[in-house]
Chains A and B, each alone.
Chain A
């Protein structure tokens, strides 16, 4: 457990970072890949929601050529080559590295202390007792090891056919720095602009946060953080970044990937209905929702938050149970948008067909080849 492993007392666990933010996500439900123009312009439109201390993008359908390999985006702070050496020795031991290269950047863009960014396409190389560990679990344990044990090295993302680009700066600066518009296409783009309130930005603390192909961008301040963190620690998630987004990412991973619950159920764990509402539900629902709240009470994310969670084939928007942070959804044809502000959607899609505001705790689920997102339209405010 975290406490035993790293700290003499829980008292020494660092304070979490607090921030407010702008979010945007766009997905083509037909699976058609497109460039970064819309995501970049939309987040630019919400400039006041960030303070230039963090921005980032998650892109799905990013590496079709290497889509069967885990794509590790790793940064080395202070361009620490010694750390790179340690990491690469570790990778060679535990993975087959089929290809690696420096992530191309535009040297004309000046950012605060840019690290060395490298990407590796790898397949697990399991040995001994780890032979029987499923691939995903194996990769996660190695990523956790790198993030917590090796100074100056951070794994930004580790999913297949997906990747995260992030750093300290306004998101459009990050986009220019990594030349996202020129170099990449994907069928989901999520983007985050950060306004930290208690810490200077650092590259690892920018969003999206990622584990395997799950990414989370988040706006809010989760007052239940301590309760959430302790529960996740019981399930061997070590919160090393000390951000609300991290607990959300791990909670989603635990519930959706490890425990196999569908997002519609997970949304009711993170932002459950009031007991007063549960009391008037049908017997079946009452039983279900009571069990959910009882069992997963420590995963209730309490306090204002809006989150856009994505993984392959799915993009989900959710806001807290009493809707203290905004989220708006929009759609045109097969393009579906999620945004902190409706204006940003209109800015990149002037002929929008639908725009709606989902209520607190009601997820907008955008799925490949379905119209599931319209379910939340019926419940909109």
Chain B
């Protein structure tokens, strides 16, 4: 059926600069550039271009220019180009429109409306280049009180502690499964986490056996609704076990890895037959209520002899605060909140763009609720979903997060340009694909360095801002709303955030 779709991008080639090296042709998995040797000219298949900018970035002479083609139809504020294109796609296929990556709709980004404080006169700011500036954070449950024994003038800890996992920087790579992303991308995250003293999250795609010796020590392993790759060794090799209830990009629905992507290696790691669709159900079918969740939490703790914190990840939805409180009471040591701008490898467009609430509001509400109930110390709170910079991360901590998950930002550091076509399996950057021709574009040795650099620069920036506030340990900013002020926000938004307006 003819789809009547218009191209999304315009591809321009400066003929005077082009040297016919054909890099663009080789790099484009979507086959936008086709060279005809006889005619010595390029033909373009513009409608296949996804705007990933791979050809532009690699063109040695800068001859290419790819930019969005936005205003083909008569301008209409209600019936936008996107809306109309989607209708045509649906009319042609009768299917659900898929997309990848995070929500790109102009839902208010509260980070951009929150400003940080700094010291002037009454207390000194601290210079992180000259003085210690501590970012180390422990993830896990903290006791209500400690028992200390004193004998012969020497204090000794008499309480038994709950398992906690230290991270050198309160930044952790989000759950991105092997299968959704390529092996080199997955390995890069693991290598970077190890080098930087943080953690990476396996998602629900399992952890390859040969990676366990080296990287299990910095791994959060997920136990999701499909239970892919879960066995005793998998659970016991990790630092933290995460039960995935929901994902910010697609609250309320499961995942789908098409059979074509399930290669031998993926099949082995996920413990499923090669070539079968890996379907994660929408709910966990053994969790239909909070007491069921509690049973799974304790089953996992039993399986690992209470040596590992158990995290529960939920999407930020309307009554997230009450849900989080239930999760903590059910025995979780960590609650991860994934906001509406969280990324995904594949999700229905309607769900991604319309379900859930912004992380900032959810985070403030969860933190407040846990404090009001006097159980905030029983868990760590991880904030996930659309953290774009060190400033977003430090603001999340000031709003009450113990740590921050970064997913999309890490992908961008690896090369991703947010073309939103992760679900096609034709990622030209070698990140979100299983095609060996494409995945070999990522060299984990180099890519992991880019990730380590990203973490390093963020931690320097966080240290600078922290020192400016006059504190030298990250825990002194956690939940410290006094160091935030809002600009351009409505009264109700300030109230939910628990933040004063600028000048107040």
Check if A197 is an interface residue, CB within 8 A of chain B. yes
The answer to whether A262 touches B146, judged by C-beta atoms less than 8 angstroms apart, is: no
Interface residue ranges of A147-202 to B (CB < 8 Å): 197-198
- Which of B142, B472, B500: most chain A CB closer than 10 A? B472
Q: Which of B151-159, B209-217, B230-238, B261-269 contacts A (4 or more CB under 8 A)?
A: B151-159
A297–B478 Cα distance when bound, in Å, is: 9
Which of A9, A262, A265 contacts B498 (CB under 8 A)? A9
User: Shortest Cβ distance from A234 into chain B, in angstroms?
Assistant: 5
| B121 to chain A: closest residue by CB | A197
Check if B42 is an interface residue, CB within 8 A of chain A. no
Residues of B close to A15: CB separation below 8 A: 482
The answer to whether B476 touches A300, judged by C-beta atoms less than 8 angstroms apart, is: yes
Given contacts A226-B479, A227-B475, contact A284 B156 (CB under 8 A): yes
Instruction: Count residues on chain B whose CB falls below 8 Å from chain A CBs.
Output: 51
Residues of B close to A264: CB separation below 8 A: 155
Interface residue ranges of B104-148 to A (CB < 8 Å): 119, 121-124, 126, 131-132, 134, 136, 138, 142-143, 145-146, 148
Residues of B close to A262: CB separation below 8 A: 148, 150, 155
Instruction: Count residues on chain A whose CB falls below 8 Å from chain B CBs.
Output: 50
The answer to whether A10 touches B368, judged by C-beta atoms less than 8 angstroms apart, is: yes
Check if A324 is an interface residue, CB within 8 A of chain B. yes
| A275 to chain B: closest residue by CB | B136
User: Shortest Cβ distance from B130 into chain A, in angstroms?
Assistant: 11
Check if B470 is an interface residue, CB within 8 A of chain A. yes
Residues of B close to A259: CB separation below 8 A: 145-146
User: Shortest Cβ distance from B251 into chain A, in angstroms?
Assistant: 26
Check if A249 is an interface residue, CB within 8 A of chain B. no
Interface residue ranges of B355-387 to A (CB < 8 Å): 368, 371-372, 374, 376-377
Given contacts A224-B471, A300-B475, A322-B131, contact A288 B157 (CB under 8 A): yes
Residues of A close to B500: CB separation below 8 A: 11
Residues of A close to B376: CB separation below 8 A: 230-231, 234
Interface residue ranges of B465-504 to A (CB < 8 Å): 469-473, 475-483, 494-500
The answer to whether B480 touches A224, judged by C-beta atoms less than 8 angstroms apart, is: yes
| A19 to chain B: closest residue by CB | B122
A288–B146 Cα distance when bound, in Å, is: 10
Which of B146, B372, B470, B497 contacts A303 (CB under 8 A)? B470
Given contacts A223-B119, A274-B132, contact A288 B480 (CB under 8 A): no
A221–B473 Cα distance when bound, in Å, is: 16
- Which of A276, A284, A295: most chain B CB closer than 10 A? A295
A11–B486 Cα distance when bound, in Å, is: 10
Which of A11, A223, A295, A300 contacts B146 (CB under 8 A)? A295
The answer to whether B482 touches A226, judged by C-beta atoms less than 8 angstroms apart, is: yes
User: Shortest Cβ distance from B308 into chain A, in angstroms?
Assistant: 16
Which of B374, B472, B494 contacts A321 (CB under 8 A)? B472
User: Shortest Cβ distance from B269 into chain A, in angstroms?
Assistant: 34
The answer to whether A297 touches B157, judged by C-beta atoms less than 8 angstroms apart, is: no
The answer to whether A226 touches B472, judged by C-beta atoms less than 8 angstroms apart, is: no
Contact digits for A209-233, partner B, Cβ 8 Å, 1 yes 0 no: 0000000000011011111001101
The answer to whether B372 touches A4, judged by C-beta atoms less than 8 angstroms apart, is: yes
Contact digits for A1-29, partner B, Cβ 8 Å, 1 yes 0 no: 10110001111000110101000000000
| B137 to chain A: closest residue by CB | A297
| B480 to chain A: closest residue by CB | A226
Residues of B close to A230: CB separation below 8 A: 371, 376, 479-480
Check if B39 is an interface residue, CB within 8 A of chain A. no
Interface residue ranges of A260-295 to B (CB < 8 Å): 261-262, 264-265, 274-276, 284, 287-288, 291-292, 294-295
User: Shortest Cβ distance from A375 into chain B, in angstroms?
Assistant: 9
Given contacts A9-B496, A297-B475, contact A234 B480 (CB under 8 A): no
Check if A77 is an interface residue, CB within 8 A of chain B. no
| A295 to chain B: closest residue by CB | B142
Which of A11, A16, A261 contacts B495 (CB under 8 A)? A11
Closest 8 interchain pairs by CB? Answer: A224-B476, A10-B498, A302-B476, A226-B480, A226-B482, A9-B495, A297-B475, A221-B123
Q: A197-B121, A294-B142 are in contact. List 18 more A-B contacts (CB 8 A).
A: A18-B122, A223-B476, A224-B477, A225-B480, A227-B480, A234-B377, A265-B155, A275-B136, A284-B156, A291-B146, A292-B146, A295-B377, A297-B138, A297-B473, A297-B475, A298-B475, A302-B472, A322-B126
